[in-house]
Amino acid sequence: MQVLIVDDSQIMRKIITGVLKKLKVENIIEAVNGKEAVDAISENNDIGLVLMDWNMPTMTGIEAVKKIRTSGSKVPIVMCTTEAEKEKVLEAIKSGANDYLIKPFNPKDIQSKLGKFLAACTK
């Protein structure tokens, strides 16, 4: 199974990729905005986890989550974002996100938050 990292920041994608590789996740693909993520999920059944930024050009992460759920996909989605207000977290969960990781985070945060989702992606 693949992990899809969705973030308009190349540096943030590199950071998350580095942490995932330390967690033995090798099959990683990337998207730079919500639209690319929606397209990737509609075309690729091998994605087992999505890490989704919120603020991105072209299509935001929350818009992408809504479209992904509307399409019927049940792929786990974890928001990785600076949007830390309680109402934003609730909006994301209500829209279909499975969990929420607030930036700034360190490798331990990623490991503890994603562990339950990553088991299928390290096989």
Partner 1 sequence: MKVEHLKPFVESVIETFGSMLDCPVKNGKPFVSKDDDQSNDIIGVIGLTGTAQGTVALKFPVKTALTVVGRMVGTEFKEVDTSIADGVGELVNIIAGNAKVKFKGHKISISLPTVVRGGVYKLNFPAAVRMTVPFTGGLGDFEILVSFKPVAVEEKEAVHAGVNCG
Q: Which of 18, 24, 90, 116 binds partner 1 (CB under 8 A)?
A: 18
Q: Which of 43, 72, 74, 104 binds partner 1 (CB under 8 A)?
A: 104
CB 51 within 8 A of CB 3: yes
Q: Is 115 in the site for partner 1 (CB under 8 A)?
A: no
Q: Which is nearer to partner 1, 44 or 58 (CB)?
A: 58
Beginning with the edge strand found earlier in the chain, give each strand of the sheet holding 28-31 in spatial order.
Answer: 28-31, 2-6, 47-52, 77-81, 99-102
**Tokens standing for 80?**
């990785």
E strands, 21-86, where? Answer: 28-31, 47-52, 77-81
Q: Which is nearer to partner 1, 81 or 95 (CB)?
A: 81
CB 56 within 8 A of CB 34: yes
DSSP state of 20: H
Q: Is 90 in the site for partner 1 (CB under 8 A)?
A: no
Q: Is 83 in the site for partner 1 (CB under 8 A)?
A: yes
CB 7 to partner 1: min, Å:
9
Task: Return residues touching partner 1 (CB under 8 A).
Answer: 8-12, 14-15, 18, 55-57, 81-85, 103-106
